[in-house]
Copies of this chain bind each other. A is one copy, B any other.
Amino acid sequence: MKHLQTLQYVDTIARVGSIRKAAETLFITSTALNRRVLALEEELGVPIFERLPRGVRLSAAGEILIHHARMQMADMERVQSQIADLSGVRRGHISIVCGQALLAYFMVDHVARYRQQHPGVTFSVSVCNRADAISALSNYDADLAIVFEPVRTPDFHPIGSVPQAIQAIMSAEHELTKKSELTWSDILSAKLILPTRANGVRHLLEEALAKKGGELNTVIESDSFDFIRNYIVSENCISFQIPIGLPKKSDKSSFITRAIGINAIPHGHVFVGQMNGRALPVAASLFANELIKSLENLDPRSNN
């Protein structure tokens, strides 16, 4: 949209921190971009950016403006999507951030299903931790966030959730496979490979630790579930994952899952959420509804 171009420019400058660099990514000359900034500052009567030797940084006024600008741009997208919806076509773009566990199977399924019904809708799906997911919503970088045990902030507005019990995963040779359900002392006694602290599963585990005491025998920490999954067949240790993040029964070849007693580690929840107070574009809103409906029908014990 033409009339938002300047705001778009300002947004880019704020993100990259320099007018010249921003000009490159926007495919215009730095002169033109600089002049836009100066004109806007003239209009507002105050500088939007502080000039630093190596670039620019938002001033206090700029912070206020940029928040408005991002809101305006997101709202215009919503307007365009609503207008497009009037003419029957469902078009638009949905930007999603979600935790690693949710991305691999759950999001793949749902995005594919939605795209089958609405080929005009494009997606961007990014993986990130719980804290970054919320800030992506606040910056209007993402329309929806799907996370396990989200950070509680006023900016995050949950619109659907499903409880998820943490499960232990291990190789078929591990001695704990003999038990059908693991206790807290089983966990304490085992060698563990855990996701990093930004992860929701890890968070729940740390909470249980604080409450129940003991010491975790954490031999490896990794932010890649792929690494974890492949590693447990190489060394005799166990890790944890939520059911929604595990492949379906049929292809579960390389490792074994075991339930964990509800007394050992409490259930967590997967949340679908958006930024508080924001009106989503038509496509994103519909997609969110379908996600939630799917979550509601999801029995946590059905895909163990």
Residues of chain A at the chain B interface (Cβ within 8 Å): 1-7, 39, 43-46, 60-61, 64-65, 68, 71-72, 75-76, 78-80, 82-84, 86-87, 277
> CB-CB < 8 A to A61: which residues of B?
83, 86
Nearest CB on B from A33, distance (A): 15
Nearest CB on B from A19, distance (A): 18
> CB-CB < 8 A to A3: which residues of B?
3-7
Q: How far is the CA of A277 from the CA of B71 in the complex (A)?
A: 14
Q: How far is the CA of A86 from the CA of B59 in the complex (A)?
A: 11
The copy count of this chain in the complex is: 2
Contact in complex: A79, B60 (CB < 8 Å): no
> CB-CB < 8 A to A75: which residues of B?
68, 71-72
Contacting A68 at CB < 8 Å: which of B2, B68, B79, B87? B79
> CB-CB < 8 A to A84: which residues of B?
45
Contact in complex: A86, B68 (CB < 8 Å): no
> CB-CB < 8 A to A45: which residues of B?
83-84
Q: Could you write out 19 A-B pairs with CB less than 8 Å apart?
A: A1-B43, A2-B39, A3-B4, A3-B5, A3-B7, A44-B80, A45-B83, A46-B86, A60-B86, A61-B83, A61-B86, A64-B79, A64-B83, A65-B79, A65-B83, A68-B78, A68-B79, A71-B75, A277-B277
